[in-house]
Amino acid sequence: MIWIISGTQDGRELGAELADRENLKNPDERKGILMTVVSQYGKVLAEHTGIDIEVGRFTKPDMVRIIHDKDIELIIDASHPYAAIVSETAFSACRETGIQYIRYERPEIPLPDYDKLYVVKDENEAAELAGRLGNSILLTTGSKTLSTFVNSKALEGKEIWARVLPTSGVVKMCEELGMKAKNILAVQGPFSYEMNMAMIHDYKADVLITKNSGLVGGSDKKLEAAMSAGIAVIVIEKPKSVLTGVPVFNNTQDVLSYMEDHYGLYKEPKSN
């Protein structure tokens, strides 16, 4: 069985393509596909014929157990590019159990030359800087690190607008952090340039905080809108994962080609 750790749209698309290719093989030659996601909402998005989906956040012992229980022979790590701990945990579990690990990671976009663009190492540094740059902060980094910004002394008295997924669990977490309903922008992206501009305008944002999550994550449209509006942009750097000596791919076709060459993935006939 092949295990796909998915945390992105492109991870889901990769899993669907692998499943479709496996379904073209004889039943006794097919490899099962397990996909893990972190939420029930993610499970709904990932549902596809030929994929078994489990929900959870897995520790290394959890991963080792799953590898043994489900006879996993390969992990394809397509987790979010900022989920360094997930990648390092999966890599360590693969080394302990002697199976292969490969990493799919969407490429970042080149950052533009813009005099109001600042690059910081983490959310703590982003909060400190945002407090000095403006009063209305449009936060587009999701819910995982929201507490850092809400509880930051540097942002006391500032207006924080949190753009998060529209799930009950995420909204409840925002409320438990003390956020007012009007400041919880519960909507699923990625967003167009026009949508980003509308939010910047309507919420009178003078600082936008984001991650460089690539084209699929809509980073280009966020930056384009912020620059057009003339506001400050804070980009949190991607954390470095320690994945020495493993295959790392930046597009899905390279992953599929690798699977064709090394794991017997059904090859699509070439068109004339």
Same domain, 90 and 165: no
Q: What is the pLDDT of residue 216?
A: 61
Same domain, 59 and 165: no
Same domain, 85 and 127: no
Same domain, 47 and 154: no
- Distance, CA of 249 to CA of 113 (rounded, Å): 27
Residue 159 domain-assigned?
Answer: yes
Q: DSSP state, 153?
A: G
Residue 89 domain-assigned?
Answer: yes
Same domain, 170 and 190: yes
Residue 222 domain-assigned?
Answer: yes
Q: Is the pLDDT at 272 greater than 60, yes or no?
A: no
Residue 269 domain-assigned?
Answer: no
3-state helix, strand, coil in the chain (%, to 5): 40, 20, 40
How many domains does the structure of the chain reveal?
2
CATH number, residue 201:
3.40.50.720
Same domain, 38 and 125: no
Same domain, 94 and 191: no
Q: What is the pLDDT of residue 271?
A: 44
Same domain, 76 and 160: no
Same domain, 90 and 153: no
Report which of 56, 32, 92, 14 is spatially closest to residue 252, judged by C-alpha positions. Answer: 14
Residue 271 domain-assigned?
Answer: no
Determine if the pTM surpasses 0.95. Answer: no
Residue 167 domain-assigned?
Answer: yes
Same domain, 30 and 61: yes
- Distance, CA of 81 to CA of 189 (rounded, Å): 16
Task: Read off the pLDDT of residues 46-77 as tens digits, 9 standing for 90 and up.
Answer: 999 999 999 999 999 999 999 999 999 999 99
Give Cβ neighbours of residue 219 (< 8 Å, ≥ 6 apart). Answer: 108, 109, 210, 211, 212, 213
Q: What is the pLDDT of residue 80?
A: 87
Same domain, 174 and 84: no
Domain with 121, as residue range(s), is: 117-236
Residue 34 domain-assigned?
Answer: yes
Under 8 Å between Cβ of 205 and 81: no
Query: What does the mean pLDDT of the chain come to?
Result: 91
Same domain, 123 and 91: no
Q: Is the pLDDT at 39 greater than 80, yes or no?
A: yes
Residue 268 domain-assigned?
Answer: no
Q: Is the pLDDT at 128 greater than 50, yes or no?
A: yes
SS3 225: helix
Over pLDDT 70: what percentage of the chain?
Answer: 97
Q: What is the pLDDT of residue 217?
A: 62
Neighbour count for residue 90 (Cβ, 10 Å): 26
